[in-house]
Amino acid sequence: MQTVPEHRPSRNSEVSEEPSAPDTVVTREKLAVVPKNRAAVREKVFADQVFRSLVILCALAVLAIVVVAVAQRPLGPIASATADDAGRHVLIVAASAVEDPTDVARVVGELGLAGDGEAEVRVLVPARIGFLDRWASDVEPARRGAQRQLVATVAALAKAGVAAEARVGDEDVVQAVEDQLQSYPATEVVLVGGGDAGEDEAAAQLETRLEADFRRLQLSP
């Protein structure tokens, strides 16, 4: 009887019979997913930027409305403090230095202060704050400059025979006057300056709001 040899698979055949990993199929549809996702991200970023811009614009519009409303609100009268006597109290608002002898003589002459020892005089100099100082919240240079101007003006008046008190006030002329009149019983307020545009606006407000007599002396530039 003939023996049939037993068939044993070789190692190569065993390896070849193992199932192979499926190939990854890359289709056009899958390749199109990446650019579509990028486009969606760009659209979302753009939409967020537009939304933030609209929010900022709305906030600025509201702020502008508030500022305009505050600027246009009616301003009340400015009253002087109550005086203890019936004397004359003069508040000189020196928007510019009054130290030239000609200017001093004109101020003293037009106000009738020469020889009037009964009149009480106070000189007020608003502190002019520059843009850079305001941006840096540094008011000291402006106050020092106002102090120098104040000393020069009071000294010039003293040479002309007029004694005066001295004060440095707010950079806003009207606000400076209003602050002083809370404690000073002015019967007259005199704005002395060189005729700047800011002085024109301040003079218009003071003329309409002051309860005390108001006049303006414009000095030669």
Instruction: Give me the residue spans of the domains in the chain.
Output: 28-72, 89-218
Beta bridge partners of 198: none
For residue 115, the 8-state DSSP code is T
Q: For residue 87, what pLDDT band results from cuts at 50, 70 and 90?
A: very high
Q: What pLDDT is recorded for position 220?
A: 75
Q: For residue 41, what pLDDT band results from cuts at 50, 70 and 90?
A: confident
47 pLDDT above the threshold of 90: no
The model's pLDDT over 111-153, given as tens digits with 9 standing for 90+, comes to: 999 876 789 999 999 887 644 444 445 557 677 878 888 999 9
166 pLDDT above the threshold of 60: yes
Query: What is the Cα–Cα distance from 29 to 58, expressed in whole angstroms?
Result: 43
Q: How far is CA 63 from CA 66, 67, 155, 166, 176, in A?
A: 5, 6, 46, 38, 26
CA-based nearest residue to 218, from 136, 143, 123, 110: 110
Look up residue 77 and give its two tokens: 């009268």
Query: What is the Cα–Cα distance from 65 to 73, expressed in whole angstroms?
Result: 12
Q: What pLDDT is recorded for position 43?
A: 77
What fold is seen in the domain 89-218? Answer: Rossmann fold (3.40.50)
Query: What is the Cα–Cα distance from 163 to 147, expressed in whole angstroms?
Result: 17
CA-based nearest residue to 111, from 170, 181, 160, 183: 160
- 3-class DSSP assignment, residue 123: strand
67 pLDDT above the threshold of 80: no
Asked if 175 and 154 count as a contact pair (C-beta separation under 8 A), the reply is no
Q: What pLDDT is recorded for position 163?
A: 93
The model's pLDDT over 195-208, given as tens digits with 9 standing for 90+, comes to: 776 789 999 999 99
115 contact partners, CB below 8 Å, separation of at least 6: 161
